[in-house]
Every structure is written in C-alpha cells, then in structure tokens.
Copies of this chain bind each other. A is one copy, B any other.
Amino acid sequence: MNFLEERIAKDGIVKSENVLIVDSFLNHQMDIALLEQIGQEFHNRFRDCPITKVLTIETSGIPVAYPVAKAFGVPLVIAKRTPSQKIDEDVYMAELDPSIYPSKDTVIVAKKLLSANDHVLIIDDLLANGGAVQCLISLVESADATVEGLGIALEKGFQEGGHRIRNLGYRLESLAIVDTLDPVSGSITFR
C-alpha cells in the first residue's frame, strides 16, 4: 500500500458497499501534511508534462489541487458551480449530468483564465461516475487548451468514471483505487 492507501485503510470509515467516509483527513477536515505529500506525488507522476495551469472544481478538489499547483509553480484555477440562469458571456461552461447532479449546476471558468497555449493538469479529490471531471475536460477543450492529464486522490473503482475517462484516451492517475468496501468487517480492498 502507498501512503494514501495506508491512511484510507487506517482512518476511512466504510458506511456501506458504496460509501467511504474520509472526512477526518481528506475532505471537511484536511491533514495538510498528507495533502503536501499528495502534491509531491502528483508532481512526480506528471513532471514530464509542460504544465502551465492546474484546474480543479469547487469545493473539495481545492485543497488537493493547491499543493499540486505549488509543486509545479503554476496558477490554480477553480471551476465554479453556478445556477445556469446566472451565467455571463465571458465564460466557458459545461453542464453537469442532471441525472447525477440534481441541482442542475453549470460549471464555468472565465475565458481569460484558459487559453490555447495552456497545458492543464486536472486535479480532484474523488472520482466516482466522472461527471465533474468530464466537465473540466470539456472546459479545457472549449479553450483549445491541452489536457495533459488528470490526477485523482481517491477513485471508486467500482463506479464507471475511471474506466470511462481512460477509454477516452486521457492519462488518468489515481493515487488510491478502491475496488470493494465491506461494511460488515469495515475492510477496504485496493486495486
């Protein structure tokens, strides 16, 4: 097990076959030393790429993306979720799948923050069905910028997002991929 798998095994709480609670160290409360280690690990994995910006989506992607942007020495851009009726003209936008995100939010980035010269590393804390990450890919490509890769802290391997993104040909690196959760024993199986 790597450092993140070890921490998830130690402090993650298995609520059901689908639900793993990591709110004491990865979201809600953040262990900054762990996040710094995550930032270094993504920098190691993508150091061959000419990254110019790190892109994440509010909210819980931010503390994972911060140390990555710092390690690369590039700006951190945060895509915002906003009700569709509030959109102004100077943004790229992508729609979250309403069957999964019932709030019908639109994900936006100001056009001035992404250009065709950008090489973007997309970072998020969790990958499940992949809807948020697909919006981020769409925003980057709307700007004719390049998606260099995607870095995820915790992937739920039993949901389809990771499979779908890799099948589209993107380089996706997940630090921990959970394949099964056993709510009876509390055990977690990593890929």
> Which A residues have a C-beta under 8 Å from some C-beta of B?
23-24, 27-32, 35-36, 58-60, 62-63, 66, 69-70, 73-78, 80, 109-110, 112-113
Contact = CB atoms under 8 A, between A and B. Distances in A.
Contact of A113 (B28, B60, B75, B76): B28
The 7 closest A-B pairs by CB, nearest first: A58-B59, A30-B76, A62-B62, A32-B70, A29-B113, A29-B77, A59-B59
Copies of this chain, complex-wide, total: 2
B78 A27 contact: yes
Contact of A110 (B23, B58, B62, B113): B23
Contacts of A24: 112-113
Given A30-B76, A59-B80, A66-B66, 15 more contacts: A24-B112, A24-B113, A28-B77, A28-B109, A29-B78, A29-B110, A29-B113, A32-B66, A32-B73, A58-B58, A60-B78, A62-B62, A62-B66, A63-B66, A63-B78
